[in-house]
Chains A and B, each alone.
Chain A
Amino acid sequence: MEETALRVTKLRKSYGEVHAVDGVSFAVPVGRVFTLLGPNGAGKTTTLEILEGIRDADEGEIEVLGRRVRRIDRATKERMGVLLQEGNFEPYLRVREVFSLFASFFRSARSPAEMLKAVALEDKAGAFVKTLSGGQKQRLAIGVALINDPELVFLDEPTTGLDPQARHNIWSIVSNLTASSKTVILTTHYMEEAESLAQKVCIMDHGKVIAEGTPRELTSGLGQDTIVEFVVPEDTEFPTAVTARCALVLGEGGLVSTKTSDLAPTLGCLLDWSRSSGVPLAEMAVRQPNLEDVFLSLTGRRLRS
């Protein structure tokens, strides 16, 4: 049986009538990347803030690193690292000073020089935080989260707002963490990030867990169907002849998707209609189902809608 780094049971947190976290339960095996996936407002960040010790849960049980705790205490924080979704550093501190400051809060910590190298910020060691780019700030934040060489790392939307290059840099750092047997709890609303990094995914919506498993387990639940996607003008109306043969789902910006187990007839139908109506099928793509499709099939909405 796998050892568990974190177990959450029936966690609840409400703000007045709003149930931000509504009976969430999951378990995270040691040394794995566990991803909480869901749209904005799904309850991911509130769940994480409870587990990071920023907020108290109204109800529920938390067992973290072998200890059952009512709220996250100092001893637990010594063994945890946290990358906040929204968090800043003193703008007039130098990068090296930030590492020194945060290292001083822990009984045992890695040296600033070691962390500068780990997050590739050696050439920025003497730079003020306010002069760093978004990607550099995020690498600094990850370095700070890892300064105490934690067993359990929380990364709350680590790549939101970053360019593709910076995003891949962060993914590389996260991959290295699992190679060194760290347990990572990651939240994201980028399905490709979850698919790329996670060994286990928990999909949340409206404060509840609506699906849980490995990415393969979740997508295989959709069967062997293939997804066809294309873009048409937003006011386009499809004739019954087409909608009767293809179950079209209309999204924002004229994005249309359909799921099919028999690709050739579906494509033929769509192309015939395009030719006869004169409506081009722009950006057409044929692909296998992903986590976004899982979310779509579970909720009828897209992750980023």
Chain B
Amino acid sequence: MNGILHLARTQLVTALRERITLFWFLIFPVFLLALMGFIFTNVGKTQDLTFEVTIVNLDRGTRGGSFGASVVETFRELATSSAPGHPSLFRLHEPEAGNDPHGYLADEIAALRIGKRAAVIVIPEDFSESLYAAAAGPKSADAPATLVTVHTSGGRTSSEMALGVIEQVVARVDQEILAKLGLFDAARAVTVDQQLIGAESQTFAYIDFLVPGVVVMGFFVAGLFSVPGTILFGRESRVLRRYWVTPLSVPRFLVGFSLGHLALCGVQFACVWILGRFAFGAHVKLFQPLAIAYLVLAIVTFLAIGFLVAALARTPGAGMAIANIINMPLMFLGGLFFPTGAMPPALRAIMLTNPVTYIADGLRASVGVSPSAYGHAASIGVPLAWILGCAVVAAFRLKWDVGR
């Protein structure tokens, strides 16, 4: 036990003393959080995000009324209501009475292009007619929601985030319309209601979304780069060989190494959480059993992926190359920093097999930042499958000594 604890301490202190490790595992996550926090939050005033959204209602309506007006009304409610101390989710822009809505729409699209708007929602002229037609005919109950057009600016973060929120708002309006048309589905209504971002506080606090993402990113980078770095460098430079000529066994080394890695992640977590909490006022409650379970699951999953990389690479250089190849898709298609909206099928396939996606989703759901898109069974099961797969490959392929 003594040897295991000494190894854990060695793993931790050497990581904290090495500048490169220190930068990537501590300074970088903290810097990233600070940078994104400053960009997307207004420090000292509010920690919430307000989307600049335009809505243009072109709906002619029918004798039965205008459903377009219902949609507009819902967005108006969101634009004026907010929890105490928080700004509203949208700042809504609409054409004034008497203005040409088409001309106004053109101006707002131009505003969207230069970043002054996050999204422009257009309710088409035949919106109500289509809905009544859908109610009368055999079409699917889901059809009306597709009639609303949302213009976003490609690649702009605020647009992508706004789109995610708008889709959920529209889904809620859709539910209300379906009820009016007699196609109300109670089970579906409940689901839609739960998927509204910021359901807990009725506001979208980006810093609360961001902090768990940066924490998971830190664990991911630490596992992906630190583990193969330590194992492959230790193997190549014969640091590990020094251990193998003592009574220290590989299993005891693994326990000590993993404990040290856990401690490193603990330090990393503390730094990110303290910055998020005290500099940006994050309220995300990470100190609760389910959240802690997700954090430990994240550390173990990424530790396992690190061992997989170490098992696949022959040299430290090859290990870093493999880690870099894995890093990009898994980190940026894992929903760590922004909600993952509609994606091309190929990217969606990566996203849906990516353990980061499930861990980030489960962690955020566990702290009430956003509802789970996949459910806790998948959010825990997929990472566990990764752990198992990585462990099996590492057990058969990982060499602990040169030429052994």
> CB within 8 Å of B: which residues of A?
52-55, 74, 77-78, 80, 82, 84, 86-93, 97, 100-102, 104-107, 128, 144, 148
Interface residues of B in 215-243 (CB under 8 A from A): 237-239, 241-243
Q: Are A105 and B247 in contact (CB under 8 A)?
A: yes
Segment at the interface with A among B9-17, B78-86, B148-156? B9-17
A-B contact pairs, 27 of them (CB 8 A): A53-B244, A53-B245, A54-B241, A54-B404, A74-B249, A77-B245, A77-B246, A84-B242, A87-B239, A88-B237, A88-B238, A90-B14, A91-B14, A92-B13, A92-B14, A97-B13, A101-B7, A101-B10, A104-B2, A104-B5, A104-B6, A105-B3, A105-B243, A105-B246, A128-B17, A144-B242, A148-B246
Whether A78 contacts B247 in the complex (CB less than 8 A), given A54-B404, A88-B242, A90-B10, comes out as: yes
CB distance from B400 to the nearest CB of A (A): 10
B18 within 8 A of A: yes
Instruction: Report the bound CA distance from A89 to B237 in whole Å.
Output: 9
CB distance from B125 to the nearest CB of A (A): 69
Q: Are B14 and A100 in contact (CB under 8 A)?
A: no
* Chain B positions within 8 Å of A78 at CB level: 247
> Which partner residue on chain B sits nearest A141 by CB separation?
B242
Q: A93-B10, A105-B246, A105-B248 are in contact. List 10 more A-B contacts (CB 8 A).
A: A52-B245, A80-B245, A84-B245, A86-B241, A88-B239, A90-B239, A93-B13, A101-B7, A102-B242, A105-B247
Instruction: Report the bound CA distance from A87 to B240 in whole Å.
Output: 8
* Chain A positions within 8 Å of B242 at CB level: 84, 87-89, 102, 144
B167 within 8 A of A: no
CB distance from A127 to the nearest CB of B (A): 13
> CB within 8 Å of A: which residues of B?
2-3, 5-7, 10, 13-14, 17-18, 237-239, 241-249, 401, 403-404
* Chain B positions within 8 Å of A128 at CB level: 17
> Which partner residue on chain B sits nearest A86 by CB separation?
B238
* Chain B positions within 8 Å of A97 at CB level: 10, 13
Instruction: Report the bound CA distance from A93 to B403 in whole Å.
Output: 26
Greatest chain B CB density within 10 A among A92, A105, A106, A128 is at A105
Q: Are A82 and B404 in contact (CB under 8 A)?
A: no
Instruction: Report the bound CA distance from A92 to B2 in whole Å.
Output: 21
* Chain A positions within 8 Å of B14 at CB level: 90-93
* Chain A positions within 8 Å of B401 at CB level: 54
Q: Are A101 and B241 in contact (CB under 8 A)?
A: no
Q: Are B6 and A101 in contact (CB under 8 A)?
A: yes
* Chain B positions within 8 Å of A106 at CB level: 246-247
Q: Give the residue of B7, B10, B239, B244 whose beta carbon is less than 8 angstroms from that of A54.
A: B244
* Chain A positions within 8 Å of B403 at CB level: 55
Q: Are B239 and A89 in contact (CB under 8 A)?
A: yes
* Chain B positions within 8 Å of A80 at CB level: 245
Instruction: Report the bound CA distance from A80 to B244 in whole Å.
Output: 12
Q: Give the residue of B18, B238, B241, B243 whose beta carbon is less than 8 angstroms from that of A92.
A: B18
Q: Are A54 and B247 in contact (CB under 8 A)?
A: no
* Chain A positions within 8 Å of B6 at CB level: 100-101, 104-105
Instruction: Report the bound CA distance from A208 to B238 in whole Å.
Output: 27
> Which partner residue on chain A sits nearest B5 by CB separation?
A104
> Which partner residue on chain A sits nearest B17 by CB separation?
A92
* Chain A positions within 8 Å of B2 at CB level: 104
* Chain A positions within 8 Å of B245 at CB level: 52-54, 77, 80, 82, 84
* Chain B positions within 8 Å of A102 at CB level: 242, 246
Whether A87 contacts B247 in the complex (CB less than 8 A), given A54-B401, A101-B6, A104-B3, comes out as: no
* Chain A positions within 8 Å of B7 at CB level: 101, 104
Instruction: Report the bound CA distance from A77 to B243 in whole Å.
Output: 11
* Chain B positions within 8 Å of A53 at CB level: 244-245
Instruction: Report the bound CA distance from A86 to B7 in whole Å.
Output: 21
CB distance from B319 to the nearest CB of A (A): 18
Q: Give the residue of A84, A91, A144 whose beta carbon is less than 8 angstroms from that of B241.
A: A84
> Which partner residue on chain A sits nearest B253 by CB separation?
A105
CB distance from B22 to the nearest CB of A (A): 10
Q: Are A74 and B247 in contact (CB under 8 A)?
A: yes
* Chain A positions within 8 Å of B247 at CB level: 74, 77-78, 105-107
Instruction: Report the bound CA distance from A107 to B246 in whole Å.
Output: 11
CB distance from A128 to the nearest CB of B (A): 8
Whether A87 contacts B241 in the complex (CB less than 8 A), given A97-B10, A101-B10, comes out as: yes
* Chain A positions within 8 Å of B237 at CB level: 88
Whether A87 contacts B13 in the complex (CB less than 8 A), given A92-B18, A105-B248, comes out as: no
* Chain B positions within 8 Å of A90 at CB level: 10, 14, 239
Instruction: Report the bound CA distance from A12 to B10 in whole Å.
Output: 37
* Chain A positions within 8 Å of B249 at CB level: 74
List the 9 closest A-B pairs by CB distance, nearest first: A82-B245, A104-B6, A92-B17, A105-B246, A104-B3, A92-B14, A87-B238, A105-B248, A74-B247
* Chain B positions within 8 Å of A84 at CB level: 238, 241-242, 245
Instruction: Report the bound CA distance from A102 to B248 in whole Å.
Output: 9
* Chain A positions within 8 Å of B10 at CB level: 90, 93, 97, 101
Instruction: Report the bound CA distance from A105 to B7 in whole Å.
Output: 9
CB distance from B44 to the nearest CB of A (A): 39
CB distance from B16 to the nearest CB of A (A): 9
Instruction: Report the bound CA distance from A102 to B3 in whole Å.
Output: 8
Instruction: Report the bound CA distance from A99 to B3 in whole Å.
Output: 12
Instruction: Report the bound CA distance from A87 to B401 in whole Å.
Output: 11
CB distance from A21 to the nearest CB of B (A): 14
* Chain A positions within 8 Å of B239 at CB level: 87-90
Instruction: Report the bound CA distance from A174 to B247 in whole Å.
Output: 23
CB distance from B259 to the nearest CB of A (A): 13
